[in-house]
């Protein structure tokens, strides 16, 4: 029997796929649907302390090889999100609460709420490339990242994952800061800063001008980040960026990821992508005589 099961501290997954934050994760019903579609875990949309409207449209550009989005972190706020979590945690897979804030104290407050709501872990969004005062603006400072992770670890008993930005020359310093702060895992990476221009209108397409590029276009960037982080830290890494097939997932796993997240592919290929990927992973294990997917983590470094 081939095993796809993986774990990150106390977080146990039947398979190494996760729904990435930012798609099909605004309601409890949609998150439960993703779990039922085969996601090994589901990450919520990023939730802050108060409700936010986000940016006006246009907020999304579809490209041939991905998307550029600048949503502005819209959401109902942590208190209102409780009702969605009540529904989401009834699904068959663990729910990971994604959080954004500007201070260690606010991150800790939000994490406590998510734990109370039944989240199996929290993911700290310190990497959004287009929300002023949040995300990447604080996630490129190793000292701030260390303080945030330390504060959240002191506030909750569930695993703490930190989602990092590729838009920095200090990625490895930030990764070390997550580990030094007691973080249980690193999620690498969030979207790449990008833009698109309408040649008809002669102006940027997005209201915010600059957004975050996701999808197959950034897979090489994500792989590089995971590969380098694997050689720098001892905590688990979750790979994100352009995963659409089992082969993509295997590349991330061999680079050093214990699990992978799928986001843009849900929009590009449909919710069947989770079972397509896990089926392909099972086939690979069988054909190559590998007993567990964990045996392949980091083999590209050998």
> Could you tell me which residue, 131 or 158, shows the higher pLDDT?
158
Q: What is the dihedral of CA 171, 175, 180, 181, to 10 degrees?
A: 100
**Tens of pLDDT, residues 212-232:** 999 999 999 999 999 999 999
Contact 142, 175 (CB under 8 A): no
Cα torsion 163, 166, 172, 174 to 10°: value is: -50
pLDDT above 80 (res 283): yes
Question: What is the overall mean pLDDT for the chain?
Answer: 98
Q: Tell the residue number behind the tokens 């579609």, with chain if given.
A: 37
**For 31-57, what is each residue's pLDDT tens digit?**
999 999 999 999 999 999 999 999 999
Detail the DSSP E strand segments found in the chain. Answer: 6-8, 11-13, 17-19, 41-43, 60-63, 66-69, 95-99, 121-125, 160-164, 185-188, 192-194, 197-198, 203-204, 211-214, 237-240, 259-262
Helix 246-255 to helix 273-287 angle (10° resolution) is: 60
State residue 98's pLDDT score: 99
Which residues, including other chains, have CB under 8 Å from residue 253's CB and lie 6 or more apart? 16, 239, 260, 293, 296, 297
Model confidence band, residue 135 (pLDDT cutoffs 50, 70, 90): confident
Q: What is the pLDDT of residues 179-208, one digit of tens each?
A: 999 999 999 999 999 999 999 999 999 999
What is the CATH number assigned to the segment(s) 6-301?
A: 3.20.20.70
CA-CA distance, 258 to 16, in Å (whole number)? 7
Mean pLDDT for 244-273 is 99
Residue 150 appears among annotated catalytic residues: no
- Is residue 123's pLDDT more than 90? yes
Q: Where are the domains of the chain?
A: 6-301
pLDDT score, position 131: 79
Q: In a 3-state reduction of DSSP, which class is residue 46?
A: coil
């Amino acid at each position: 029997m081939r095993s796809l099961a993986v774990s990150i501290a106390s977080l146990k997954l039947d398979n190494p796929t996760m729904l990435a934050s930012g798609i099909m994760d605004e309601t409890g019903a949609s998150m439960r649907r993703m779990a039922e579609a085969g996601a090994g875990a589901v990450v919520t949309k990023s939730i802050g302390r108060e409700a936010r409207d986000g940016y006006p449209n246009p907020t999304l550009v579809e490209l041939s090889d991905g998307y550029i989005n600048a949503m502005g972190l819209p959401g109902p706020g942590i208190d209102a999100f409780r009702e969605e979590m009540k529904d989401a945690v009834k699904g068959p897979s663990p729910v990971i609460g994604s959080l954004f804030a500007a201070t260690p104290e606010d991150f800790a407050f939000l994490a406590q709420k998510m734990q109370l709501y039944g989240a199996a872990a929290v993911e700290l969004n310190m990497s959004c490339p287009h929300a002023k005062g949040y995300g990447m603006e604080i996630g490129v400072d190793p000292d701030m990242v260390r303080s945030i992770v330390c504060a959240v670890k002191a506030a909750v008993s569930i695993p703490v994952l930190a989602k990092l930005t590729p838009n920095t020359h200090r990625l490895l310093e930030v990764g070390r800061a997550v580990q030094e702060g007691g973080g249980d895992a690193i999620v690498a990476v969030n979207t790449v800063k990008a833009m698109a221009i309408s040649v008809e209108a002669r102006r940027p397409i997005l209201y915010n001008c600059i957004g975050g590029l996701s999808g197959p276009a950034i897979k090489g960037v994500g792989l590089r980040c995971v590969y380098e982080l694997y050689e720098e830290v001892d905590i688990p890494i979750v790979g994100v960026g352009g995963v659409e097939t089992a082969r993509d997932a295997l590349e991330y796993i061999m680079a050093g990821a214990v699990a992978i997240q799928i986001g843009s592919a849900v929009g590009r290929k449909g919710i069947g992508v989770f079972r397509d990927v896990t089926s392909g992973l099972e086939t690979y294990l069988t054909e190559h005589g590998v007993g567990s997917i964990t045996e392949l983590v980091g083999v590209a470094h050998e």
